[in-house]
Chains A and B, each alone.
Chain A
Amino acid sequence: MQVALKIWRYDSSTGERALKEYEVDAPEEATLLDCLDLIKDRYDGTLAYRKSCRMMICGSCGMRMDGAAVLACKTRMYEIAQAGRVPVISAMGNLPVVKDLVVDMQPFWDKFRAIKPYLEPGYEQPEDGREYRISQEQMNVIHKESLCINCGCCVSECNAMESNPEFLGPQALAKGMRFVGDPRDAATVERLEAYNSEHGIWECTRCYFCNERCPKGVDPRDAIAKLGAESVRLGIDRDMGARHAKWFIRSAETTGWLRETELVPKTQGVVASIKQMRFALSLARHGKVPPPFPPHVAKDVREARNLRKLVRMQDRQGALGHVQGERALERLAHGHAGETLEEIYARPGAAPRPYLPGDETEGAA
């Protein structure tokens, strides 16, 4: 098949930047990475990009296709080529470009290191000199976070990092959750204190772009939510963000809906809210917020309260309140129409039905 690509070329030593178009003849199963290889080999040896495993596990080949981060080795070109699209390939966002599709990963790794990315065991080692005994269920809490391959796709698309490069960012925080959720780690409080400080979890804008772009189903935004829930559970709630979240819960529990007028003083404190008074009044004038008195109580408030009770009863406070692994599974469960095996064997163009040699009865394999 013919595959056409436009690639943003860039050379940091000269500062030159140009959008160049290439066309290659690639096999139908070719990925974006295969096409880049063909371009580099056949047309332009100066094209720069990272690669190694070509099987979605090393995290080398993050780049942007039409403005959204992808792993080049995970991106099949067949449908794109069939549709006659000419995608634009460029380097990942939020990281300085070194050359063509290669970015400087130093800021990424600096943040990684900043969250203390190693186990702080602290507990006494088992007396028999053997492994810690931990149930698989306990380990499942960090299943998704431990899938991260450090590719940077989430960081590339993070809106909070775009406006504030100091923000720890989705990858580092997901890694943080990997330790906070690990029953062997004894530094939970110190970690949460650190992740709650400036440029920590509460700076996330909840745009969910990181969940959307992560090629491994890590769901960093969910990890950040888990860190928030754990912080609140352990009383680490000085940050405005934490108080904001707590007020949501309190508000839902008491009246069954969000009391916006109280949100500001609860979150920012009384002094700050007085400063916001004029803004609040103008909102009220335009009907954007209801008058605070008398407080309106939702008809089905009991349901909201029961939900809270259930969470407490099941002891699913903190990170455990987040369902584990659902997106990673959902991602894979597409494309099956529920045919029987006979129907599958009878599909047009299907491969022959398997049989054991010497076995006379057809289909007995």
Chain B
Amino acid sequence: MIAKHDVLVVGAGCAGMRAAIEAHDAGADVAMISKLHPTRSHSGAAEGGINAALGNAAEDSPEIHAFDTVKGSDYLGDQDSIEIFCAEAPGDIIQLEHWGAVFSRRADGKLAQRPFGAAGSPRTVYAADITGHVLIQVLWEQVCKREITVYEEFFAWQLVVNDGRCQGVICWDLLRGGLKTLGGKTIVMATGGAGRQYRATTNAYACTGDGMAMALHAGLPLKDMEFMQFHPTTLYPSGVLITEGCRGEGGYLINKDGERFMKRYAPNALELASRDVVSRSEQTEIDEGRGVNGSVFLDLRHLGAERILERLPGSRELAMTFAGVDPIYDPIPVRPGAHYHMGGIATDSDGATELDGLYAAGECACVSIHGANRLGGNSLMETITFGRRAGRAAAEWALSHTTVEVPESAERDAERELRELLSREEGERPWKLREELGQSMLENFGVFRREEGMARQIEIIQGLRERYRNVYVEDKGHVFNSDLTQAIELGNMLDTALCMVTAGLARKESRGAHSRPYDYPNRDDENFLHHSITRWRDGEVELSTAPVRMTKWEPQERKY
């Protein structure tokens, strides 16, 4: 053990930094561990905005926000957490503003709020099209102010569970090499999403579900893992997000014949129908052969050069850089891509897991406020509100306990496992497996899911896990060995993907992001109004269920 802290936060995106700041302010000695420098976290890529019922642009209240969220979740969200979330969000936004967040403003000087999909009121606070960047910067500034320790470019690999408590994290030091163990009275996981399991994703290379896998391997339950939200306009082929603003400005979605196909799926809302509807429509076009290279097109040509340059310069730059397409002259190739993971480490409204001393917040956690489908703008808010709550709870627990102990055997076992991986002199390099996983997840566990496809996907993942046992790391060095960490990330993606597909296969209904139009096209509250729980038992997935926490909203049909 190289150091001990009261609270160790694993991950330094919006959720991790917010948790660390809160734990610090509660009087705890806190440190963060992150495989990337904090400002490199993928929270920084968020564009659209963050939801809080401030009521600056129109009449709004936490109750309306809560109802929108419950309905959006297709009634799978835990309503007690949703109520806390919506009530506390406005205060959290005001605090961010006081810390210096550079949000966009209204003419009266108040924070501007824009309308977002499926929201009853314009409640999305934003900073032009760089909201996430602005949040990451302001949190990092506050972390610097408090001089919170950051174990930067430390790759967290395993949790240490001792005496029925989580007491430490075993990490690989990327910059200097070597296994380093850190002790903590409490650990907060904030490692973000897992979109890299898919070949088409808006997620960064670092979004590999490490925290979910670490918790899973430590015996903790992952909740609602089958729910992966797809965003309808991700650039082909890179997967970079093209903002909804393009459709908001009047962009058309067309197939290879130029037909604005949304007319056939959502005759009134057309391109502005909700995310899941648009994603499914696009996928149907592609599946029925009216796409090109597995994508359809976002056509902005009719908006004219001036409007594109003035209103959508960021999207134009992305299209030009990553697809070589100038939207003034050519439509942008887009397809649905994995975007946001609703599922994750099961926690209560304070971020606490079932293991003493272990907390989780942000995209790696499942509180659950998103249920089967997240509303745009709710996840950034979740990182802040539940990051804060988890940080507070972790600090309070830590301050009432004294000891931290990491048994030597834990470090020895990890050391042995690492040696085994590094000493392998031949085998398959990880990239091949990674590509096969990404491709097959997109085909068999994408926008639409079929019984046979999911069954086949489980076999594919099992096959890949088998091959993973012989995976070969070419770099044997100690300094910045990303070959090693990428191999570990692959293992994490394989295990979490197995949980996802296992839970998906068992959910014989269509709910939110889990869509089975061919065999179970409807929501089935009688049999499936429950959370899916997956655990690791002897290297395999064990599936069970847990009730949804309801307070005052009875399930209704979800229509927009």
A133 at the interface (CB under 8 A from B): yes
Stretch at the interface among B160-168, B311-319, B374-382, B455-463: B311-319
A117→B102 contact, CB < 8 A = no
Q: Is the CB of B102 within 8 A of A53?
A: no
CA distance A335 to B319 in the complex (A): 14
List the A side residues contacting B309 at CB < 8 Å. Answer: 332-333, 336
B40→A59 contact, CB < 8 A: yes
Bound-complex Cα distance A102 to B258 (A): 46
Contact assessment for A58 and B323 in the assembled complex, using a CB-CB cutoff below 8 Å: no
- Is the Cβ of A341 less than 8 Å from the Cβ of B205? no
Q: Which residue of B lies closest to A108 (CB)?
A: B37
Give the number of chain A interface residues (Cβ < 8 Å).
81
Interface status of B108 (Cβ within 8 A of chain A):
yes
Contact B259 A345 (CB under 8 A): no
Question: Min CB distance, A65 to chain B, in Å?
Answer: 15
A184: Cβ under 8 A from any B Cβ: yes
Task: Give Cα distance in the complex from A267 to B330, angstroms.
Answer: 57
- Would you list which residues of chain A between 270 and 318 have a CB under 8 Å from chain B? none
Q: Is the CB of B479 within 8 A of A78?
A: no
Complex interface: chain A residues within 8 A of B259 (CB)? 354-357
B310, closest chain A residue (CB): A329
When C-beta atoms are compared, the residue in chain A nearest to B175 turns out to be: A98
User: In the complex, which residues of chain A have a beta carbon less than 8 angstroms from the beta carbon of B118?
Assistant: none
A58 touching B100, Cβ below 8 Å = no
Q: How far is the CB of B553 from chain A (nearest CB, A)?
A: 29
Q: Is B19 an interface residue (CB 8 A)?
A: no
Closest to A48 in B: B480
Q: Is the C-beta of B473 less than 8 angstroms from some C-beta in chain A?
A: yes
Per-residue CB contact flags for chain A residues 134-166 toward chain B (1 = under 8 Å, else 0) read: 111001001000110110000000000000000
| Cβ-neighbour of A146 out of B107, B111, B134 (below 8 A) | B134
Interface residues of B in 445-474 (CB under 8 A from A): 473-474
Q: Are A48 and B299 in contact, with the CB atoms below 8 A?
A: no
B431 touches A41 (CB 8 A): yes
Does chain A have a CB within 8 A of B359? no
Determine if A52 and B42 form an interchain contact, defined as CB atoms under 8 angstroms apart. yes
By a CB distance below 8 angstroms, the chain B residues around A235 are none
Q: Which residues of A contact B254 (CB under 8 A)?
A: 351-352, 354
Given contacts A31-B321, A121-B98, A146-B134, contact A53 B144 (CB under 8 A): no
Q: How far is the CB of B384 from chain A (nearest CB, A)?
A: 15
Chain B residues with Cβ under 8 A from A344's Cβ? 301, 328-329
A118 and B100 contacting across the interface, CB-CB below 8 Å? yes
Task: Assess whether B252 is in contact with A354, with CB atoms less than 8 Å apart.
Answer: yes
Complex contact B108–A133 (CB within 8 A): yes
Interface: A11 (CB within 8 A) = yes
Partner of B252, one of A13, A131, A147, A365: A365
A317 and B256 alpha carbons, distance in the complex (Å): 55
Q: Which residues on A sit within 8 Å (CB–CB) of B326?
A: 335
A29 within 8 A of B: yes
Distance between Cα atoms of A98 and B480 in the complex (Å): 8
Asked, given contacts A13-B478, A29-B238, A351-B331, whether A74 binds B321 with beta carbons under 8 Å apart, the answer is yes
Task: Select one of A49, A134, A338, A358 contacting B109, CB under 8 A.
Answer: A134
Contact call B323/A132, Cβ cutoff below 8 A: no
- A113: CB under 8 A from chain B? yes
Report the separation of the CA atoms of residues A53 and B317 in the bound assembly, to the nearest whole angstrom.
15
Closest to A38 in B: B431
Give the chain B neighbours of A50 by CB distance below 8 A: 40
Determine if A57 and B45 form an interchain contact, defined as CB atoms under 8 angstroms apart: yes
Q: Which residues of B contact A333 (CB under 8 A)?
A: 309
CB of B105 closer than 8 Å to a CB of A? yes
Q: Which residue of A lies closest to B93 (CB)?
A: A131
A102-119 contact mask (Cβ, 8 Å, vs B): 1 or 0: 101100010011000111
CB neighbours of A352 from chain B (8 A): 254, 256-258
A142 contacts which chain B residues (CB < 8 A)? 102
- Interface code A235-256, partner B: CB below 8 Å = 1, 0 otherwise? 0000000000000000000000
In the complex, which residue of chain A has the Cβ closest to the Cβ of B35?
A52
Q: Which of A345-361 contact B (CB under 8 A)?
A: 345, 347, 350-358
> Measured between C-beta atoms, what is the minimum distance from B534 to chain A in Å?
27
B526-558 CB mask vs A (1 if < 8 Å, else 0) is: 000000000000000000000000000000000
Tell me if B133 counts as interface (CB < 8 A to partner A): yes
Q: Considering the chains assembled together, what is the distance between the CA atoms of A16 and B427 in angstroms?
A: 28
Q: Report if A76 contacts B (CB, 8 A).
A: yes
State which of B221-229, B260-268, B275-283, B344-352 sits at the interface with chain A. B260-268
Query: From A136, which residue of chain B is reached at the shortest CB distance?
Result: B105
A59 vs B263: C-alpha distance when bound (angstroms): 40
Least CB distance from A125 to B in Å reads 6
* A117 CA to B107 CA, complexed, in Å: 28
Minimal beta-carbon separation of A244 from chain B (angstroms): 32
* Set B106, B328, B474, B483: member contacting A336, Cβ < 8 A: B328
A56: chain B residues at CB < 8 Å are 317, 321
Q: Check: A188 CB closer than 8 A to any chain B CB.
A: no
A42: chain B residues within 8 A (beta carbon): 431
Shortest Cβ distance from residue B332 to the other chain A in the assembled complex, whole angstroms: 10
In the complex, A353→B259 CA distance in Å? Answer: 8
Judged by a CB distance under 8 angstroms, whether B297 is at the interface is yes
**Contacts A29-B237, A45-B429, A351-B297; A135 near B109 (Cβ below 8 A):** yes
Q: Give the complex CA separation of A329 and B473 in angstroms.
A: 45
A182 at the interface (CB under 8 A from B): yes
In the assembled complex, the Cα of A261 lies from the Cα of B175 at a distance in Å of 54
A6 on the interface (CB 8 Å rule)? no
A365 engages B260 (CB within 8 Å):
yes
Residues of B with C-beta under 8 A to A136 = 104-107, 112
B302 in the interface (beta carbon within 8 A): yes
Per the 8 Å Cβ criterion, residues 470-509 of B in contact with A are 473-475, 477-483
**CB under 8 Å from chain B, chain A span 28-78:** 28-29, 31, 40-42, 44-46, 48-60, 74, 76, 78
Q: CA–CA, A352 to B145, complex, Å?
A: 55
- Residues of A contacting B480 in the complex (Cβ-Cβ under 8 angstroms): 48, 98-100, 102
Alpha-carbon distance between A35 and B200 when the two chains are bound, in angstroms? 18
Asked whether any CB of chain B lies closer than 8 Å to the CB of A321, the reply is no
Smallest Cβ distance from B331 to chain A, in angstroms?
5
Asked whether B240 is an interface residue with its Cβ less than 8 Å from the other chain, the reply is: yes
Bound CA–CA A98/B173 (angstroms): 14
In the complex, per-residue mask of B23-65: 1 if CB is within 8 Å of any chain A CB, else 0: 0000000000000110111101100000000000000000000
The interface residues of chain A lying within 8 Å CB-to-CB of B328 are 335-336, 344
A12 at the interface (CB under 8 A from B): yes
Decide yes or no whether A27 CB sits under 8 A from chain B: yes
**With A29-B322, A146-B102, A357-B264 known to touch, is A45 a contact of B240 (CB < 8 Å)?**
no
Q: Does the CB pair A76–B321 fall under 8 Å? A: yes
Q: How far is it, in angstroms, between the C-alpha of A345 and the C-alpha of B252 when the chains are bound?
A: 14
Taking the complex as formed, is B269 at the interface, i.e. its CB lies under 8 A from any CB of chain A? no
Question: Once bound together, how far apart are the Cα atoms of A220 and B224, in whole Å?
Answer: 46
Ranked nearest first, the 4 interchain pairs of A and B with the lowest CB-CB distance are A45-B474, A352-B258, A133-B109, A119-B100
Sampled A-B contacts (22; CB under 8 Å): A40-B483, A45-B473, A48-B475, A52-B204, A53-B205, A58-B36, A78-B324, A98-B480, A102-B480, A117-B144, A119-B99, A119-B141, A132-B109, A136-B106, A182-B100, A182-B102, A332-B316, A335-B328, A341-B301, A351-B331, A354-B252, A357-B260
Extra contacts besides A105-B37, A136-B104 (20): CB < 8 Å: A29-B238, A29-B322, A48-B480, A52-B41, A55-B238, A58-B44, A58-B204, A78-B324, A99-B480, A100-B480, A118-B144, A119-B100, A136-B105, A332-B313, A347-B329, A350-B330, A354-B259, A357-B259, A357-B260, A358-B263
